[in-house]
A and B are shown apart, each in its own frame.
Chain A
Amino acid sequence: MLAALTLVSGVLAVTTRQIFRAAIFLLFSLIGIAGLYFWMQYDFIAAVQIVVYVGGITVLIIFSIFLTQQAGELLPKQKIGRQIFSALAVFCGFALTMLQLFQHSFKPTTGQPVLPIVANIGDRMLGVAEDGFALPFEVVSMLLLAALIGCIVIALRSKPATS
């Protein structure tokens, strides 16, 4: 059910010719994924998914759509040749991937599972030992800083473009 929701809205998101609807479908698709996370009992990640994607990125996208596009305007259609080729390539890729995935027998580990609860995550996130992720955390923070600077410079340019 969730899967169906995710996939159908995903397909619609990339095919609908109304950009605003595409954004909404994307939103549904993302929520569907969050649902899947919930269903797999990864609550934290589901929460993050909803907060960051639904609350952040999608909103960002919608804003940018407002900024750049008249809502309701139909998107230009892609050339049919391109569509066929893309579909073909994508289908091949999908087939190949599926084939390999199904041929491969995943052997689940026998180790003691670590519960994905917030406390554990927090521990690890700032740990510097074997299983710690403090360094990636720092790196990501640098990345976000850099992204911020980049966005500021690019988006807030002082002079408007001269046509």
Chain B
Amino acid sequence: MMEPGLNHILVISAALFFIGVFGFFTRRNLVTMLMSIELVLNSVNLNFIAFNKYVWPNKMDGLFFAIFVIAIAAAEAAVAIAIIINLYRSHHSIDVENAEEMKF
């Protein structure tokens, strides 16, 4: 195996990104959908770090971006979970297909 470089990391992150997206599309449980989102965000972080490391090491923009994304992810997850819990209280379920009252 070659020395892993930028491209390998990019492949990993892109794969992870789309794994997350796939999860978001197919999981019916709201919490697992949230987990898929976390995967997506992580893949992006990986991208940032990789670019920072291999392409633009002169500044730390990517690094900081990653840090802030982590913070945002935390906040988002918190609010999302709060909402999910609230939804569970009113719907007694966290299956996404049970919350489809509004359509068309």
Chain A residues within 8 Å of B, Cβ to Cβ: 3, 6-7, 10-11, 13-15, 19, 22-23, 26, 29-30, 33, 36-37, 40-42, 44-45, 48-49, 52-53, 56-57, 60-61, 64-65, 67-69, 75-78, 82-83, 85-87, 89-91, 93-94, 97-98, 101-102, 106-109, 111-114, 116, 120-121, 124-125, 131, 133, 136, 140, 143-144, 147-148, 150-151, 154-155, 157, 160-161, 163
Does B22 contact A144, Cβ atoms closer than 8 Å? no
Inter-chain contact B60/A78, CB cutoff 8 Å: no
Closest to A163 in B: B92
Q: Residues of B with Cβ closer than 8 Å to A?
A: 4, 6-12, 14-23, 25-29, 31-32, 34-36, 38-39, 42, 45-46, 49-60, 63-64, 66-68, 70-79, 81-86, 88-90, 92, 94-95
Residues of B within 8 A of A44 (CB): 63
Give B3 Cβ to nearest chain A Cβ, in Å: 11
Q: Once the chains bind, are B64 and A133 in contact (CB under 8 Å)?
A: yes
A116–B49 alpha-carbon span in the complex (Å): 10
A-B contacts, 28 of them at CB < 8 A, read A10-B15, A13-B36, A14-B32, A14-B35, A29-B42, A30-B38, A36-B49, A49-B42, A49-B45, A53-B38, A60-B77, A61-B35, A64-B31, A67-B88, A76-B28, A77-B28, A83-B26, A89-B25, A94-B14, A106-B6, A106-B55, A108-B54, A108-B57, A109-B56, A143-B72, A147-B79, A154-B82, A157-B89
Partner of A140, one of B14, B58, B66, B71: B71
A163 to B91: give the CA distance in the assembly, Å: 9
- Are B85's CB and A155's CB within 8 A? yes
Q: Which residue in chain A gives the minimum CB-CB distance to B12?
A: A3
Instruction: Find chain A residues with CB under 8 A from B81 CB.
Output: 60-61, 64, 151
Among A36, A67, A160: residue with most chain B CB under 10 A: A36
Judge whether B67 and A48 touch: CB under 8 Å.
Answer: yes
Q: Are B64 and A136 in contact (CB under 8 A)?
A: yes
**Chain A residues, Cβ within 8 Å of B63:** 42, 44-45, 116, 121
Contact: B42 with A53, CB < 8 Å? yes
Question: A126 CB to closest chain B CB, in angstroms?
Answer: 12
CB nearest neighbor in A for B8: A3
Question: Judging by beta carbons under 8 Å apart, are B8 and A61 in contact?
Answer: no
> CB < 8 Å: which of B8, B27, B58, B75 contacts A14?
B27
On whether the beta carbons of A7 and B12 are closer than 8 Å, the reply is: yes
The answer on a CB contact under 8 Å between B84 and A68 is yes
Query: Once the chains bind, are A143 and B75 in contact (CB under 8 Å)?
Result: yes
